[in-house]
Chains A and B, each alone.
Chain A
Amino acid sequence: MKGAVHVYRRKEQLVTRRIADESIIVPVAENVGDLESVYTMGEVGGYIWERLDGQRPLDEIVAGICLEYEIDEVSAKSDAAEFISALEIAGLIEKVRGESG
Chain B
Amino acid sequence: MTVQVESYEHFSRLLHGKVIEQRIPVTATIEVSHRCSLNCSHCYNNLPMNDEAARRSELSYEELCRIMDEMADAGVLWLLFSGGEIFARSDFLDIYTYAKKKGFLLTLFTNGTLITERVADYLVRWRPFAIEITLYGRTKGTYETLTRVPGSWEKCMRGIELLRERKLPLKLKTVAVSVNRHELFAMQDLAAELGVEFRFDSMINPRTDCSASPLHVRLTPAEIVELDVLDGRRASEWKEFAERTIRSADQEHHPDQVYHCSGGVNSFSIDPTGKMTICVLSHFDEFDLRSGSLREGWDHFLRGVRGKPATRPTKCTDCRIKAVCGMCPANGELENGDPEEPVDFLCQTAHLRAAVFGFPVAAHGDCEYCEGGVHHPAIAETAASLKDRKPVTSALPATAPKSVGCETGCFGCGNTATTV
Residues of A within 8 A of B (CB): 15-17, 19-22, 24-26, 28-30, 34-42, 44-45, 48, 79-80, 82-83, 86-87, 90, 92
CB distance from A33 to the nearest CB of B (A): 9
Q: Which residue of chain B has its CB nearest to the CB of A43? A: B1
Which residues from chain B contact A39 at a C-beta distance below 8 Å? 3-6
B19 part of interface (Cβ distance < 8 Å): yes
Which residues from B are CB-within-8-Å of A19? Answer: 15, 19, 24, 26, 75, 77
> Closest CB of chain A to B126's CB: distance in Å?
6
Chain A residues with CB under 8 A of B8? 36-38
Interface check B22, CB cutoff 8 A: yes
- Give chain B's interface secondary structure class: mixed
Complex Cα distance, B72 from A37, in Å, reads: 20
B104 contact set on A, CB distance < 8 A: 26
User: Which residues of the other chain, B, contact A80 by a CB distance below 8 angstroms?
Assistant: 1
Chain B, Cβ-Cβ closest to A48 = B1
Q: Report how many A-B pairs have Cβ atoms within 8 Å.
A: 86
Closest to A49 in B: B3
| Closest CB pairs A-B (n = 7) | A15-B103, A20-B18, A79-B1, A26-B103, A86-B3, A44-B1, A38-B11
Chief secondary structure at chain A's binding surface: mixed
Q: How far is the CB of A30 from chain B (nearest CB, A)?
A: 6
Please judge, given known A-B contacts A37-B6, A90-B5, whether A30 and B127 are in contact too, CB under 8 Å. yes
> B residues touching A (Cβ–Cβ < 8 Å)?
1-6, 8, 11, 15, 18-19, 22, 24, 26, 72, 75, 77, 100-105, 124-127, 169
What B residues does A90 contact at CB under 8 A? 3, 5
Q: In chain B, what residue has the closest Cβ to A13?
A: B101
A30:B72 contact, CB within 8 angstroms: no
A68 to chain B, nearest CB (A): 13
Q: Which residues of B contact A92 (CB under 8 A)?
A: 3
Known: A17-B103, A19-B77, A24-B77. A41 touches B2 (CB 8 A): yes
Identify the closest chain A residue to B127 (Cβ): A35
Docked complex Cα distance between A80 and B15 (Å): 25
The residue among B1, B5, B15, B105 with the most chain A CB atoms within 10 A of its own CB is B1
A39 to B4, CA, bound (A): 6
Q: Are B5 and A29 in contact (CB under 8 A)?
A: no
Contact status B2-A26, CB under 8 Å: no
Complex interface: chain A residues within 8 A of B15 (CB):
19-20, 22, 24
Residues of B within 8 A of A20 (CB): 15, 18-19, 22, 24, 26, 75
B18, A28: Cβ atoms closer than 8 Å: no
- Extra pairs beyond A30-B126, A92-B3 (11, CB < 8 Å): A17-B72, A17-B103, A19-B26, A28-B100, A29-B125, A34-B5, A40-B4, A42-B2, A79-B1, A80-B1, A83-B3
Question: Nearest Cβ in chain B — how far from A66, in angstroms?
Answer: 13
**Distance in Å: Cβ of A52 to nearest Cβ of chain B:** 11
Q: Is A21 in contact with B11, judged by CB distance below 8 angstroms?
A: no
- Kindly state the separation between the CA atoms of A20 and B4 in the bound complex, as whole angstroms: 16
Task: Given the known inter-chain contacts A19-B77, A20-B24, A44-B1, please indicate yes or no for A28 contacting B6, CB distance below 8 A.
Answer: no
Cα distance A38–B103 when bound, in Å?
Answer: 11
B3:A41 contact, CB within 8 angstroms:
yes
CB distance from A94 to the nearest CB of B (A): 15
CB of A22 within 8 A of CB of B1, answer no
Q: Are A42 and B1 in contact (CB under 8 A)?
A: yes
Bound-state CA distance A90–B6 (Å) is: 12
Contacts of A42 in B (CB 8 A): 1-2
- In whole Å, how far is A62's beta carbon from the nearest beta carbon of chain B? 11
Does the CB pair A22–B2 fall under 8 Å?
A: no
A45–B8 alpha-carbon span in the complex (Å): 20
CB of B3 within 8 A of CB of A45, answer yes
Q: With A20-B75, A24-B77, A38-B11 in contact, do A15 and B4 touch (Cβ < 8 Å)?
A: no
In angstroms, Cα B123 to Cα A82, docked, is: 34
| Chain B residues, Cβ within 8 Å of A28 | 100-101, 103, 126
The docked-state distance in angstroms from the alpha carbon of A47 to that of B8 is: 24
Contact B1 A45 (CB under 8 A): yes
Q: Which of B3, B18, B24, B124 has the most CB of A within 10 A?
A: B3
Q: How far is the CA of A37 from the CA of B24 in the complex (A)?
A: 22
Q: What residues on A are CB-neighbors of B3 within 8 Å?
A: 25, 39-41, 45, 83, 86-87, 90, 92
Chain B residue with the shortest CB-CB distance to A27: B127
Instruction: List B contacts of A40 (CB < 8 A).
Output: 3-4, 6, 11
Measured between C-beta atoms, what is the minimum distance from A91 to chain B in Å?
A: 11
Find out whether the CB atom of B77 lies under 8 angstroms from the CB atom of A17: yes
